[in-house]
Structure 1
Amino acid sequence: MTVSISLRHDFGAFRLDIGIEAPPGLTVLFGRSGSGKTSVINAVAGLLRPDSGRIVIGDRVLQDSARGLWLPVHRRRLGYVFQESRLFPHLSVRANLLYGQRFARRRAGGPDPGLVVDLLGISHLLDRRPGALSGGERQRVALGRALLARPDVLLADEPFAALDEARKAEILPYFERLRDETDLPILYVSHSAAEVARLATSVVVLQDGKVVRQGSAADVLSDPEVTPLGVRHAGALLETRVLAHHPDGLSELQAGGIRLLLPQVDRAPGEAIRVHIEAQDVMLSLTRPEGISALNILPATVQTLRMGQGPGALVQLDAGGNRLLARITRRSASALDLQPGKAVFAVLKAVAVARENVADGR
C-alpha cells in the first residue's frame, strides 16, 4: 500500500509545499529541526488542516481540497506513536492495549492482540501500570496500542527522542520487525543518522518545507549531492547476505559482486542484513594495495565527484553493483586525477564498521 501526499500550508514565517510518494515499507522523513517533518505527518493524521492538499492511502482519500473533502481524525484509520508514550497512567498495560483495540471494533481483520503482544515482547508487562515501566517498555506498549487500532498506516514522530541509547537499542528491533514482517506502511520522522541507515526502506529529505530528495534508502544515502546525514555521517547502505562465520571472529558477507569481512555479526548464514559504510572510512587507491592491514580491498569505478566548499570531496563509486561513498580531500582527488569512469580500489578496514551500522535486512 502506497501513501501519496501533496500539501501546501502557510505558517507565516514558514511555508510547507511538498509532494511525497511513499512506497510500502518504512519511509523516513528526514531533515533538520524546522524542516516540516512533523507538520507533514500531523497533516496526514488530521491534526493539521493544510491550506490545500491531497492525501491518499492506498485507494482511500483522506483529504482532497479540490473536492472539499477532509476526513476528521477519528475516521482516518491511523496509528500514531509520539515522542512520549502518552499512555493512560491509571490503566494497566493490558487496558491501554485494549483501549487501542476499541477503535477497530467495527472493522474486520487486523492483528490479533496475542500476536502483537508477542511481536513486541510485552507479555510479562500486561498487569503493570505505565509508571512501573522503563522508557523503552512504555514506547513498545504505545506501539502496540497503535497497532491494535488496525491502522491503514502507522505514523511515528521521533519515537526515540526521549530515550537514552540503551532504550533505543531495546526498541529498534521491533520497528525492524514491523518493517519486515507486516505490510503496514510506516511514516517515520527522524533526524538521527543511525535510525535512517538502520530502518529506512525509503527516505524523503526535507529542507525549509520542501522535498529536496526522495527515493530508496540506498539511492538517497549514497547520493553525494544530498548527503542527508551530513558530510561527517555520509555513507552508503549495502544490502548484504551472510555467507559464513570464520574461526578468527570475522563474518563474510556478500553484496552483489563484492564480498566483505566484518567483525562477527549475530546472524545465521543466508540471512539478509544491511550495512551502513560511512564515507570517512573508505580510502581510495589507483593500484591494488599490498602489505596493508585492511582486509576489504574492493575494485570500483568512480561515478561522480562532489567538491566541497572546504578541503573535502565526496566520491561516489560503483563496487560490484553497489554504490559506495568515499570522503577524501580535494588534494587527494586532484593527485589521483579522479574523474567519472576511472578504475580505483576502495579500501575499508573490517573494524571500521560500527556494530550499530549493521542491522536486519528485508
Structure 2
Amino acid sequence: MLASRIIDIDIHARRGGFALDVGFQADGGLTALFGRSGAGKSTVIAAVAGLVRPERGRIAIGGTTLFDAATGLFVPPHRRRIGLVFQDAQLLPHLSVRQNLAYGRWFAPRDARRLDFDAAVEVLGIGALLARRPASLSGGERQRVAIGRALLSAPRILLMDEPLAALDVPRKREILPLIERLRDEFAIPILYVSHAMEEVARLASQVVLIEAGRVQAVGAPETVLGPLAGSPSDTRFNTVSLITARVRSHDTRYGLTLLDHPAGEICVPGRDLPPGALTRVLVHGADVTLALERPRDVSVRTVLAGTIRATTLDDGPVARVDLALPGGETLATFVTRKSVDELGLGAGGAVFAMIKAASIEEGAGRG
C-alpha cells in the first residue's frame, strides 16, 4: 500500500459469524462506504475509530499508522484524533450546547487547534443554541452540534456513520449543505457510511461499494453508482445515471435551479449552489421518456439530446436504451419493446430524453 494516501485501509475482522475483508485507499475529500444494511460498512468505521480491533491488516490515516497487526501496533481510540458523528448525535444530555462543543475541543492538542470556536459556531449556524440542552433541540440541530463537537476535536479524519438516517426530509436538507461545506472548505478527509444512493451521489468524491464484508468496486460515483448490468426486467427500477452539469441560475419564485449541460438545459428542484458550480444529477432510468423529435408544449422541463449507444432486449416487455450524451456521459433509459419497434430505436439513432423535474433526485452536489 502507498503510505502517501490520506486513507489507507486493509483489514480482516470477524464479528460473530460475519467476516470482514476490506481494503481501499483514498486521497481525501469524502469517501462514501456504500452498500446494503449489514454489508460491513459500520464495522469498517468502528475499526478506524479503534472500537474494533481487526485480526489482520493495517490502518493508516494521513501517513500515521493507527493499527498494524504485523507489528502489534494498536493506537487506543482516545489517541487517534478521530471525529465521530453517528446516526444518534450522542450529545451529553447534562451539558449545554456550549459545553458539548467545549468537550470536543478539550480532546484537541493545543498545537492542532486550527478551527476557532466562534468560527465553528458561525459555520454551523448554532450561535442561538449555545445555552440550550440537547433535549430541547431538533434532530437537525443536534446533528449540527455533534458535527461541531467532532470538528473542534481537531480530527485527522471525520467518521460519519449514517448521520442523516434518523432525520426527516426537511432536516436532511438542512444538514446536506453543511456536510458539503465540511468537504469543500475544511480539507478534513471524511469517511461517510450510507445505504442511501441519493446522499452518496450528492456528497462523495469516491465510493467504496461493500457487499457481504468485501469490496466490490472503488471509484468515482458515476462509475460505481452508474447503470447496472443485467436484464431490463431485473434492473429497470434500480438503474440510475449520474450526470454532471453546471449551475446557471435559480428561479426563486418556483424553487427551481437551471443547470447547463452539453445535451441541454436541466431543471431540478431546490439546490442552493452558487452559479457556476458543478453539480451531479441522479436520474432513474424508469423516469425517462424518449422522443424522436424535440417535444413542444409539454410540462417536462428537461429535454436532453442524445444518440442511442445500444438497445438491450430480453423476453420481457421492457427494453433498455443507453444514450450517449454530448460530453461523454451515458444515460440509461427504459421503454417497452413495442416502443423500440414502432420508433425504430436502434444504435446510432438520434433521440430526445425527457425527464420530469419532479422525478430528479435532489442528489446533486459539487463534483
TM bracket (short chain): 0.7 to 0.9
Give the secondary-structure state (helix, strand or coil) at the position aligned to 2:164. coil
The residue correspondences of 1:106-255 to structure 2 (distance < 5 A) are 106-225=110-229, 232-244=237-249, 251-255=257-261
User: Which of 104, 108, 120 matches 1:104?
Assistant: 108
Q: Which string of whole-angstrom CA distances, capped at 9 and with x for unpartnered residues, describes residues 279-326 of structure 1?
A: 1222345x3355562454433344566768965555443311223222
1:258 pairs with 2:274: no
Give the secondary-structure state (helix, strand or coil) at the position aligned to 1:222. coil
Deviation at 1:151, TM superposition (A): 0.5
Give the secondary-structure state (helix, strand or coil) at the position aligned to 1:357. coil
1:323 pairs with 2:330: yes
- 1:202 maps to amino acid: Q
Distance 2:7 2:310 in 1: 32
Deviation at 1:120, TM superposition (A): 0.8
Structure 1 unaligned spans of 5+? none
Give the secondary-structure state (helix, strand or coil) at the position aligned to 1:67. coil
Contact 1:288 1:297 in 2 (8 A): no
User: Which of 264, 276, 281 matches 2:282?
Assistant: 276
1:50 pairs with 2:41: no
Show the counterpart of 1:89.
93
Deviation at 1:342, TM superposition (A): 3.1
Q: What's the C-alpha RMSD, in Å, of the aligned pairs?
A: 3.0
Distance 2:119 2:314 in 1: 50
Deviation at 1:113, TM superposition (A): 1.2
Tell me the TM-score normalized by structure 1.
0.87
Deviation at 1:251, TM superposition (A): 5.0
Distance 2:204 2:252 in 1: 32
Distance 1:307 1:154 in 2: 45
Deviation at 1:361, TM superposition (A): 1.6
Structure 2 unaligned spans of 5+? none
The residue correspondences of 1:6-25 to structure 2 (distance < 5 A) are 6-25=10-29
- Gap change, CA 1:97 and 1:346, over 3 Å in 2: same
Give the secondary-structure state (helix, strand or coil) at the position aligned to 1:66. coil
Deviation at 1:132, TM superposition (A): 1.2
Deviates more, 1:320-329 or 1:148-157: 320-329
- Gap change, CA 1:190 and 1:308, over 3 Å in 2: farther
Distance 1:88 1:274 in 2: 37
- 1:122 maps to amino acid: I
Deviation at 1:92, TM superposition (A): 0.8
Deviates more, 1:201-210 or 1:159-168: 159-168
Contact 2:303 2:353 in 1 (8 A): yes
- Gap change, CA 1:208 and 1:360, over 3 Å in 2: closer
Contact 1:90 1:129 in 2 (8 A): yes
Aligned residues: 356
Contact 1:2 1:58 in 2 (8 A): yes
Contact 1:224 1:314 in 2 (8 A): no
1:63 pairs with 2:70: no
Deviation at 1:79, TM superposition (A): 0.4
Contact 2:201 2:365 in 1 (8 A): no
1:298 pairs with 2:299: no
- Gap change, CA 1:47 and 1:162, over 3 Å in 2: same
Deviates more, 1:103-112 or 1:168-177: 103-112
- 1:262 maps to amino acid: C
Contact 1:224 1:315 in 2 (8 A): no
Deviates more, 1:185-194 or 1:31-40: 185-194
Give the secondary-structure state (helix, strand or coil) at the position aligned to 2:111. coil
Give the secondary-structure state (helix, strand or coil) at the position aligned to 2:167. coil
Give the secondary-structure state (helix, strand or coil) at the position aligned to 2:218. strand
Deviates more, 1:113-122 or 1:296-305: 296-305
Tell me the TM-score normalized by structure 2.
0.86
Deviation at 1:10, TM superposition (A): 2.6
Contact 2:34 2:208 in 1 (8 A): yes
Distance 1:333 1:17 in 2: 44
Distance 2:312 2:83 in 1: 40
Distance 1:295 1:242 in 2: 15
Give the secondary-structure state (helix, strand or coil) at the position aligned to 1:96. helix
- 1:274 maps to amino acid: R
Distance 2:310 2:224 in 1: 14
Q: Which string of whole-angstrom CA distances, capped at 9 and with x for unpartnered residues, describes residues 226-254 of structure 1?
A: 9xxx8534322222212346799675422
